[in-house]
Chain A
């Protein structure tokens, strides 16, 4: 197969280059033998993935393969659902985030999250939304104006909203709201940013903007993104992990590696079929 089968040829070449640059990076996070249950139903089995620092890792796979569930185990949001259970370890900063002496609030601040649907707080202003993480977590910072400008700039939204920071967040378009939510997540200075299909509710133009933002951000922050859009994985990620669940079986990671390899030269036939759109 040739690269011309992709729409984002340029982006692909860029990621080829990016991959060769990032090959020897230390790990920001590591999932080791992670299995996940909802009640008695096992939804993930034996997941091992490395997440190199300051890079973007895409989790791809058809619906129901457990990739969204997996990403929620990485910042301990999974455990807030009734009946949730987990086996294995998730390492961050050299420690298992599930070990009893780790405060889940600390983990959620270090490992931020952006969700599928833009979810700014409707009762707060744009500025209030950016700073909401400080209030919610009880973090004390004095340089509020600086934080607002920095994070909104990083999220690619500053020029569009700088004159109406005191307006309600609900006035923004869906794409702007999603970038606001990214700024909000960045304001507590996370080292890792999880994104669960952040563009699935957005139009193509907004998607493009968010992807630019992701590419910029991944120079400083480690990004882990769930996406069902394979072109997007090619455009934004350095590494890719492919999840698949056979019928009535828990999801597993079929293959992982540099994005370029997964898409151009996969080792597993199922990966090849999936990235070429033969199923899913």
Chain B
């Protein structure tokens, strides 16, 4: 007994104040609450998804019929899942270049005051409720977008993605993707601006002393340096786009057939919009379960995208130290 040294627990001594203990527990509890809520949603949706799978099997994910009144009823959300991704990709095609150019302007070109104002304005864009954006798109964006798409079809119609057979240019994936792009721009811009702004001055100096132009400096130094962070920002934007509901609801005509590539043809799919569109007129508890099952896969999809985004952003953060 006498040989054992008396080890003093310094850590608990340091946190033994009563106030500290209470505060620590509140923080810990709050942190765990968010985990519990997340797990609760996953479990609830997962359970609700079981009947859909029991009746439809894997066809629920791979087919596009939605006929509840037949016996047996058929339901498949492939067109919606694919549509969600298609809209997000269209959104990315518009939002990523726009955000990159915006952040390059803010970080490397704009005078300080302009840069600050612009940064605040773009951050404010993120605060616009999506229902407002949806209404704006419906009343204000639709008419000019109709024109743009007619022009695209007229001059670039030979490219398959710009085909349109119906002559109807409203409710297209293009318009919905455009609205999503507007919602992604603030997120992607704020991340890329941050990343580009952290390019070490040492490296910029080196590039300048080697006779760079802004373009070559970006291409060979700043963008490769910030690549991980930029990809992470894009993934965060993607996560936002996949889950967006109301804004898309106003401008997309939801059809169950899969619209594979005709982005300026009326009609497309979106899981979130399917749910909100059908929810008010569900024919019974079974259809409700089908919608919740669709929600489960949407939840899994956005969760995966967000986790990957965070991993990438964290990894770059470590590299930069």
Contact = CB atoms under 8 A, between A and B. Distances in A.
Contacts, number: 73
A135 B220 contact: yes
B208 interface: yes
Interface in B183-223: 200, 202-203, 205-213, 216-217, 220-221
Interface string A96-123: 0000000001101100110101011111
B225 interface: yes
Contacts of A205: none
Given A119-B202, A121-B203, A108 B209 contact: yes
B208 A132 contact: no
B202 A136 contact: no
A184 interface: yes
B180 to A, nearest CB: 31
Contact of B212 (A75, A113, A137): A137
A80 B213 CA distance: 12
Given A123-B225, A137-B216, A112 B209 contact: yes
B73 interface: no
Nearest to A104: B211
A138 B216 contact: yes
Interface residues of A, number: 27
Contact of A115 (B202, B221, B227): B202
B211 A108 contact: yes
Nearest to A111: B209
A58 interface: no
Interface in A73-112: 75, 77, 80, 105-106, 108-109, 112
Nearest to A170: B319
B203 to A, nearest CB: 6
B57 interface: no
A131 to B, nearest CB: 10
15 contacts: A105-B211, A112-B209, A113-B205, A115-B202, A115-B205, A115-B206, A119-B205, A120-B206, A124-B220, A132-B210, A135-B220, A136-B212, A136-B220, A185-B209, A188-B210
Interface of A: 75, 77, 80, 105-106, 108-109, 112-113, 115, 117, 119-124, 132-133, 135-138, 181, 184-185, 188
Interface of B: 200, 202-203, 205-213, 216-217, 220-221, 224-225, 227
